[in-house]
Amino acid sequence: MQHRRLLGIALAASAILYTGQACGQSAAQTNPDAELKTGADLTRQGMLQEAIPHLLAVQQSGANKYAAAFNLGICYLGTGRYKEAILVLEKLRSSGSDTAGVENLLSQAYIGDGQMQRAVETFQQAAIKTPRDEKLYAYMADACTDHQDYAVGLKMVDQGLQQLPESARLHYERAVFLGRLDRFGDAKPEFERAAALAPGTYIAYLALVQENLYEDKYPDAIRLLREGIKAGHGDYRMLSLLGTVLMHEGASPGQPQFNEARDALEESAKERPDYSATQIALGKLYAMEGRMTDAVEHLEIGRRLEPNNPEVYANLAHAYRRLGNRDKAQQSLAQLSRLLNEKKPPAPPSIH
């Protein structure tokens, strides 16, 4: 994606500046252990961009090579810098650190870079080493979902289920892929299987919500979302979906349901600002309130995260038109027309 490439250039520049300054410091002033701790802590907190300069500083020092490279691979992967992630992780693997964890990350980087054959081959190597590692299959499923390669994702999940037939998470992932491939008749029992294997859990609520959405049972989906959030499963995805479904059901400004939707979406965006579904829904909601400047701000974030989503451009055109910016409105309509002419079928509702 273009926005990710531009982001990668900006981050690389800041990282070079940081390490350039570090080179001029004395050994006493540079503390690789402290830099590694800071970088690893930021990585765990999801602050991947901020972690990169610290991890590069550790690499510059030559200390803690494995830990620094592994965390740097995570950061490059998470910020969409797939080629850099591949370089770091391939070097790490060639040094003898060919753990399943490294190969798992490398597989995801290959998917992001469009190298599906290499991704599958590397995934298979990791699966041989840790065939019963549920996270291996789940992370690869997420990567395939992000890059809309549902057929490959389905094959990977099916391989995981051969090893872990009672995994609620993998049955849920399988149902999502089947739904994305327009095979809801096959997806429905998988959603139900996932819910039955782990009743009352986060995955169970997601599975039942998704099943209801595919069957257009929106009131039931809303009820389940509220129950799940009340039960302690109110993460950014559940909140985002609640806000989105409430809006779909006709919540309008001044209604309690509309306020509930806004609160849920704003909390979701606060928790995970790079979640495109939330940003797009929040932009639409603000437009309904007449807050066009706020609407454009969030829709533009959604556009950068999902540049091939026609819904973004339709809503941007409306918001820019209301703001009196005809040029931007026309640009949005032109991009919408290009995307629609590609005749790509819209993806079914889903959440990860």
**pLDDT tens-digit profile of 59-70?**
888 878 889 999
What is the pLDDT at residue 30?
Answer: 61
**Residues 225-246: what's their mean pLDDT?**
96
> Does the pLDDT of residue 190 top 90, yes or no?
yes
**Residues 22-26: what's their mean pLDDT?**
38
Catalogue all structural domains in the chain, each as residue range(s) with its CATH number: 235-352 (1.25.40.10)
What is the pLDDT at residue 200?
Answer: 95
Q: What percent of the chain has pLDDT over 70?
A: 88
Q: Which of 290, 310, 301 is nearest to 268 (CA)?
A: 301
**Residues 289-312: what's their mean pLDDT?**
94
Residues 276/307, Cβ–Cβ less than 8 Å:
no
- Give Cα 138 distance to the centre of its chain: 13
What does the alpha-carbon distance between residue 13 and residue 216 come to, in Å, rounded to a whole number?
Answer: 48
SS3 at position 195:
helix
Residues 116/104, Cβ–Cβ less than 8 Å:
no
Residue 101 carries which side chain, given as an amino acid letter? G
Residues 200/209, Cβ–Cβ less than 8 Å:
no
> Does the pLDDT of residue 269 top 80, yes or no?
yes
In the numeric block, which tokens belong to residue 255?
A: 């209604």
- Name the pLDDT band for 6 (thresholds 50, 70, 90): very low
Alpha helices in 164-309 (DSSP H): 168-180, 184-197, 202-214, 218-228, 236-248, 256-271, 276-288, 292-305
- Name the pLDDT band for 97 (thresholds 50, 70, 90): low
